[in-house]
Structure 1
Amino acid sequence: MEEETSWVSYCLDDIMRDVGDFNKFSESNGEGDKEIMEVSMDIILPDDLLERILAYLPVASIFRAGSVCKRWYEIVCSRRFLWNFSRVVSQKPWYFMFTSSDEPIGYAYDPVLRKWYSIDLPHIEKSSWFITSSCGLVCFMDNDRRSELYVCNPITHCCKRLEEPPGLKFSDYSALAISVNRTSHNYKVSVVKSKQVRGDFLQWDLSIHVYDSETMMWMSPLTEVLTGWRGGDESVICDGVLYFLIYSTGGGNRHGLITYNLSSRSSHKHLLTKNSISVPCPLTCGRLMNLKKKLVMVGGIGRQDRPDIIKGIGIWVLNGTEWQEIARMPHKFFQGFGEFDDVFASSGTDDLIYIQSYGAPALLIFDMHQKQWKWSQKCPVAKRFPLHLFTGFCFEPRLEIAP
């Protein structure tokens, strides 16, 4: 086992206490002086095999394992353990729920152990900041000047501040997305900015800006003027393609989807509007997410006569340019939120989708693989006053990834 410890060791130091050697104990079998000695299996197992076993534990259990004994502590802090952990299949995504409308405080929900944990998020100052995640990294951007941009691992608190995105200093709308390569751990961050053309309500300047961690540089591959449409705050990168929602500034269908291949770097005019895709039905809002390299949208289904009034929630997967409906939220779950606005929070990764009303701490989970709906364990914080708002985001808990 390597003697060198990694940056994750400080997490374990907080929960470690003085740990002695294994206690040998015996048990009488009732036959005089004859004793049966019980031997702990981890004493027999070599370090490399024990490392592989521990790497399959949920993240929260790994921290607990580090407090068992000195040997386990050294194992889970070693770089070789992180290498083994990186080869384990994806951890089930956690959901961080902001429980204050002003301060960035809250709890993270672990769907495997069905427990809430109190964790601190580094650098973020308000729960209203733009937030996106991919493969263990979370990206934050402030909602005022939109000049503070951080990429961090919320489990290890390893963090990096990025340079301010180029383009418009003050945009009316911004959409943030991040995509991490699981093999190289390189990542791309995209910011889609939208600002109304002065004196013309129908025309909006829209620009795309992309940061590459490999070159540590921003690029602005495309700018365009949209007529009758504007950008918003919803985007995601999926299998090298940037998807973002646009919103009608006039009548008719309120939402559209734009696709842009990040590897093309084309700057042709009117490229965005040519690559637009209609949404499957009138929506009150839409939430985009990357589930196993498939674009998934969770949307509030609007009434035909009043598309701004929500009547249910649907889940769709984009196949080519066609939407395939996967599920609709059963009415009993829809009613279970108590109050549900036309807009809501939803995010997901792997096979799990989280849905949350801004007006309550209730959290609903949909399993894409099992096609099952279920509530999370009750959040530790209850609603304290009528304007108490809740929001959140999901992220994959990883130990080995750093920005």
Structure 2
Amino acid sequence: MAATLDGAAGCRKRKRAAPGLADLHDDMLERVLARLPPASYFRLRGVSRRWRAAAESRSFRAACARVTARDPWFLMLEDSDHQDQDQDERRPRPAAVFDSAERALARWRGAPVPLQPVAAASGLVLYRDPSTGGLTVVNPLTGASRALPPPARVAGALQAVAMYGSPYRVVLILGELPELSTVAYDSSTNAWSEQAALSRKPEVEGAPSRERVAEVGDGDGDDTVYFLSKSGDVVASTMQRSASRQYSSAVACGGCGGGDAVAYFLSRSGTVVACDLARRAFAELPRILPAYHEHSIDVVACGGAAYAVVLSEFLDAASLRVWEFAGGAWRQVAAMPPAMAHGFRGAKADVNCVGHGGRLMVCVSSSSAGAGGCFLCDVGTNRWEELPRRAAGDGDATTGFVSALSFEPRIEAAV
């Protein structure tokens, strides 16, 4: 009889359900959910009422803040001036985001139309209204947004927009070379600074002298250089950027607080301009290739450093190389394998890049069929991979992505 009872007790023990998430205390459940990839935030709220309540609680956001690092998301846009073949009207193409944690391309959820994304920092995306110039900060995961107050008495044409730090700061770079100025917004005070002029740094070793800059154009006049391409076409060297990249910049920060932030952007003549935001000074870096050499260039920041990515052709061969400015000169730090770059030969392709951590994304767009794509490069190891292409509505693969910006998705980021 005792043996029978013991056997029955053993059966009852074996039938007990193993502890699961439902048995966790709310605090522990929030810690577990905070470790999930940020893309799961859209799905976990539909699991149960308890999970939805956890995802919307302040303690859950505090748990997310304790996760030190997130894999970056890369936001990509197509040209906004796409013409509908059936109707003579302009319509924006849908954006997409590459989630590097899930290694997948997904439809973008947080793009207010017709605002253009111009910068990102601290898990937030900064949008600009092309018609009014108004700026709006958005957390793309939660949908929270805030319109920034307009700066007072700002003079000069907008050259670039920079965003960095936590609490975040927004800097507008205004004017024409060599007369540049900045005005900065601090989210901790919700106020703009007074417009301040930037001084030109002492001559950078290897950079063009002031006299040489005046000869080729310093922004006060027509700095366009015209030359004949290999096919005999007249080519203008003035930079013509897509709307989503018109005011883009790359910000390299020396410290976690962003106190040593330097913003890099491309001038209209294609030179790289470095603006020291703390010291209010700028320098125009030397050209990597001559102005009359056909090439596409973009500037990108990743791993705390700034790089220039150049796509060029020489002797009927195309090359895509990554350069870093150090010691007064440009040096090559990475290069796309020739087998990958060969497809860009003769395609008149344009290159647009963003970076995060030690990785940079290169989007190559071209009017030639098949001569484009998105590539991810690990700068430290010079490892390249092509990302999957998103299917268009007619079943064809899209190749016209313009890489606008990258950011670390943070649910807890406050606007």
Give the corresponding residue for 1:352: 359
With over 3 angstroms needed to count, the CA separation of the structure-2 counterparts of 1:340 and 1:52, relative to structure 1, is farther
Q: Is the 8 A contact 1:122 1:157 kept in 2?
A: no
Q: Secondary structure at the match of 1:298?
A: strand
Query: Of 195, 199, 206, which residue of structure 2 is paired with 1:220?
Result: 195
Of residues 358-367 and 33-42 in structure 1, the stretch that sits farther from structure 2 once superposed is: 33-42
RMSD: 3.7
Q: Is the 8 A contact 1:229 1:247 kept in 2?
A: no
Query: Of 366, 373, 384, which residue of structure 1 is paired with 2:377?
Result: 366
Could you tell me which amino acid in structure 2 is paired with residue 242 of structure 1?
Answer: V
Of residues 278-287 and 205-214 in structure 1, the stretch that sits farther from structure 2 once superposed is: 278-287
Alignment of 1:330-349 (within 5 A): 330-335=337-342, 340-349=347-356
Answer yes or no: is 1:391 the counterpart of 2:408: no
Give the corresponding residue for 2:65: 86
Answer yes or no: is 1:235 the counterpart of 2:249: yes
With over 3 angstroms needed to count, the CA separation of the structure-2 counterparts of 1:291 and 1:244, relative to structure 1, is closer
Answer yes or no: is 1:193 the counterpart of 2:179: no
Give the corresponding residue for 2:114: 125
Q: Is the 8 A contact 1:104 1:125 kept in 2?
A: no
Q: Secondary structure at the match of 1:37?
A: coil
Could you tell me which amino acid in structure 1 is paired with residue 275 of structure 2?
Answer: Y
Give the Cα–Cα distance (whole angstroms) in 1 for the partners of residues 394 and 378 of structure 2: 26
Listed as ranges, the gaps of 5+ residues in structure 2 are 1-9, 83-90, 201-212, 224-238, 240-246, 254-259
Give the Cα–Cα distance (whole angstroms) in 1 for the partners of residues 345 and 14 of structure 2: 61
Q: Is the 8 A contact 2:249 2:265 kept in 1?
A: yes
Q: Is the 8 A contact 2:362 2:403 kept in 1?
A: no
Relative to the length of structure 2, the TM-score reads 0.69
Relative to the length of structure 1, the TM-score reads 0.71
Could you tell me which amino acid in structure 1 is paired with residue 186 of structure 2?
Answer: D
Give the Cα–Cα distance (whole angstroms) in 2 for the partners of residues 327 and 35 of structure 1: 59
With over 3 angstroms needed to count, the CA separation of the structure-2 counterparts of 1:65 and 1:320, relative to structure 1, is farther
Q: CA deviation at 1:224?
A: 6.9
Give the Cα–Cα distance (whole angstroms) in 2 for the partners of residues 229 and 62 of structure 1: 49
Answer yes or no: is 1:74 the counterpart of 2:53: yes
Q: Is the 8 A contact 1:116 1:380 kept in 2?
A: no
Considering fraction of residues, name the structure with more strand.
Answer: 1
With over 3 angstroms needed to count, the CA separation of the structure-2 counterparts of 1:246 and 1:105, relative to structure 1, is closer
Q: Is the 8 A contact 2:73 2:409 kept in 1?
A: yes
Of residues 227-236 and 393-402 in structure 1, the stretch that sits farther from structure 2 once superposed is: 227-236
Give the Cα–Cα distance (whole angstroms) in 1 for the partners of residues 186 and 108 of structure 2: 28
Of residues 387-396 and 149-158 in structure 1, the stretch that sits farther from structure 2 once superposed is: 387-396
Q: Is the 8 A contact 2:265 2:274 kept in 1?
A: no
Q: CA deviation at 1:67?
A: 2.8
Percent identity of the aligned residues?
A: 22
Q: Is the 8 A contact 2:361 2:403 kept in 1?
A: no
Give the Cα–Cα distance (whole angstroms) in 2 for the partners of residues 280 and 337 of structure 1: 20
Answer yes or no: is 1:260 the counterpart of 2:234: no
Q: CA deviation at 1:168?
A: 3.4
Could you tell me which amino acid in structure 1 is paired with residue 168 of structure 2?
Answer: Y
Q: Is the 8 A contact 2:298 2:308 kept in 1?
A: yes
Give the corresponding residue for 1:268: none
Q: Secondary structure at the match of 1:53?
A: helix
Could you tell me which amino acid in structure 1 is paired with residue 361 of structure 2?
Answer: Y
With over 3 angstroms needed to count, the CA separation of the structure-2 counterparts of 1:208 and 1:220, relative to structure 1, is same
Could you tell me which amino acid in structure 2 is paired with residue 211 of structure 1?
Answer: Y
With over 3 angstroms needed to count, the CA separation of the structure-2 counterparts of 1:119 and 1:388, relative to structure 1, is closer
Give the corresponding residue for 1:148: 134
Q: Is the 8 A contact 2:171 2:185 kept in 1?
A: yes
Equivalenced residues, count: 341
Listed as ranges, the gaps of 5+ residues in structure 1 are 1-30, 196-202, 250-254, 266-270
With over 3 angstroms needed to count, the CA separation of the structure-2 counterparts of 1:214 and 1:243, relative to structure 1, is same
Q: CA deviation at 1:280?
A: 4.4
Q: Is the 8 A contact 2:288 2:330 kept in 1?
A: yes
Q: Is the 8 A contact 1:167 1:207 kept in 2?
A: no
Give the corresponding residue for 1:286: 297
Give the corresponding residue for 1:9: none
Q: Is the 8 A contact 1:211 1:219 kept in 2?
A: no
Q: Secondary structure at the match of 1:229?
A: coil
Give the Cα–Cα distance (whole angstroms) in 2 for the partners of residues 66 and 336 of structure 1: 44
Could you tell me which amino acid in structure 1 is paired with residue 387 of structure 2?
Answer: S
Deviations 1:58-107 (A, max 9, x none): 11123323333333332222211111111213222222332453415222
Deviations 1:130-157 (A, max 9, x none): 6221221111224456x22222122222
With over 3 angstroms needed to count, the CA separation of the structure-2 counterparts of 1:54 and 1:370, relative to structure 1, is farther
Q: CA deviation at 1:120?
A: 3.7
With over 3 angstroms needed to count, the CA separation of the structure-2 counterparts of 1:164 and 1:154, relative to structure 1, is same
Could you tell me which amino acid in structure 2 is paired with residue 391 of structure 1?
Answer: V
Give the Cα–Cα distance (whole angstroms) in 2 for the partners of residues 108 and 348 of structure 1: 14
Q: CA deviation at 1:175?
A: 1.3
Give the Cα–Cα distance (whole angstroms) in 2 for the partners of residues 396 and 310 of structure 1: 36
Q: Is the 8 A contact 2:117 2:125 kept in 1?
A: no
Query: Of 129, 139, 147, which residue of structure 1 is paired with 2:126?
Result: 139
Give the corresponding residue for 1:11: none
